Each structure stands twice: as C-alpha cells, then as structure tokens.
Chains A and B, each alone.
Chain A
Amino acid sequence: MSMVDPVLQGLVDSLNAAYGLCLDDGRLEEWPEFFVDDCLYQVIARENVDNGLPAAVMYCDSKGMLVDRVVALRRANVFPEHFSRHLISRAVLTGIDGDTVSAEASYALLQTRNDGETRIYNAGKYADRLLINDGVAKLVSRMCVYDTHRIATLLATPI
C-alpha cells in the first residue's frame, strides 16, 4: 500500500473541517466558495445509491444553484430554528488523478432546535472529488450519502 501524501491529506481534512464549521457557524453565504464554479452537490439517501437510483433531495449542478439555495433559505424557506454541528472523520483518499483527488469521510450532523435537545439529525458519508490548485482544495463534486433515510421534519440547511 502506498504512503498517503501528508500534504494532500492535510488539504482535504482542512477543507472538511472548515466546511463543517462554516455551516455550523451559520456563515451560509461562504459555503458555495468551497466549490468550483462547475460543481455538483448532492444530498442523497443511501437506499437510493445502493439501488442505483439517482434521485437526491438536493441536486445542485452549478455554484449558482448553491447560491440560490442559500438565498432561498435566508429569505423564503420556513423551517425550525436550529443549530447544526458537524462531526467529520479524517478523510480516506481513494484516488489521485493529476490535480484531482477522490476522498471519502464520514459525518454525523447533530441538530439542536429551540427545545434545547441535541439530536443526531443526519449521519452519512461525503464522497468527494476535489481539485487541488495552488495548495488549495476545492470541491468539484460532493455527494452526501445519508444513512438516516428518515429525515426529521425537513432538510433545509445543507449538509
């Protein structure tokens, strides 16, 4: 087994850590900046992925669509007030092709609503492709494959 490049590993893990904290801090307007312009972001049930079915609850195939999600969330959508908390595992780099890296990491997304109780809201994994450019990693695609296929109430904030 080949040695993992510690620099690459660090870039991917740093991106994931910053990504989680960005969402958890509520800095949603910054969230699209983790992606390249021509990106694909999906939130999809594991039962669909396992059965070869493509339907996702969020499917954004441009950075503009990510921005639209955030604007809608800020101004249009009505959902329970909540805090998010991402716990993200160290990434496993599954492939390297030139300046593109494939990686996977597990996540647990905790949610705390106004009743004050913290619940495991969504658990799953990120299956990613990242572009490494000038020592910075950006997401080309992120597929959030969730095990928690029973979504509590609704899913407004990105994972």
Chain B
Amino acid sequence: MPIVLGTLLAIISIAVIAYPFLGSQRYRLVSESFVTREKLRAERLRIYRKISDIEADYELGDLTEADYQQQRDQLRISAAEILKQESDSITIDSRRDEDLEKEISRLREQTTHSPRGRDNL
C-alpha cells in the first residue's frame, strides 16, 4: 500500500512538471515592457504612499509648510513623470507588430483586473 501511494505521488509530480512541455498552451517569458510597466506602476504607488505619509507628518507638525510644499510638489512631479513613462511605454508597444499588440491587450486585461492589494505585498 505505501509503495503504491509513493508511486502515485511520483506519477502525479512528473505529470505536473511535464505539463508545460506537453500542453497546448504556449508559454513565453514575460515581456520586458510589461515588467517595466509593472515596476513603474509600483514605483508610482510608492510615491503616492510617500505623499500621504508626508501629509500625515505635516499634520503632526513634523514638517514646515515650505518643506511640505516643496517635498510634495517634488513627489507629485516624479509621479507625473512616471505616469508619462507608463503611457509612453504603451504607445511604443502599440506601434509594434500585431502579435505583440495582442499580448499587450491580454496583459493589460490582466493588470486591470489584478487585485490592488498585491502592490503592497
């Protein structure tokens, strides 16, 4: 009995790891532009977080009005800058061949639906 169970476990394992080679689904490494966009988006969310932290500090009296304005504007500008890069990277992609275009829209779909909480992991 234990031997049977052990053999079964081995068969399952081999099936699971062999599946990517046998299945009909084609895999490709995640595209560079997708990773870049994800990174940019995460970076932007981190900046938003920093802005809200700075606001909390300002309310507590940790920052002077001038410091607060200066730091916040700086962060807003870098967020906007990243936002610009994000949309630029999409427009560049959209000029590429059809195949890539499809992938992007698929990935776009994915990111749009990805739970927001993920970014904080």
Do the two shown chains form a genuine complex with each other? no
Interfacial residues, chain B to chain A (CB-CB below 8 A): none
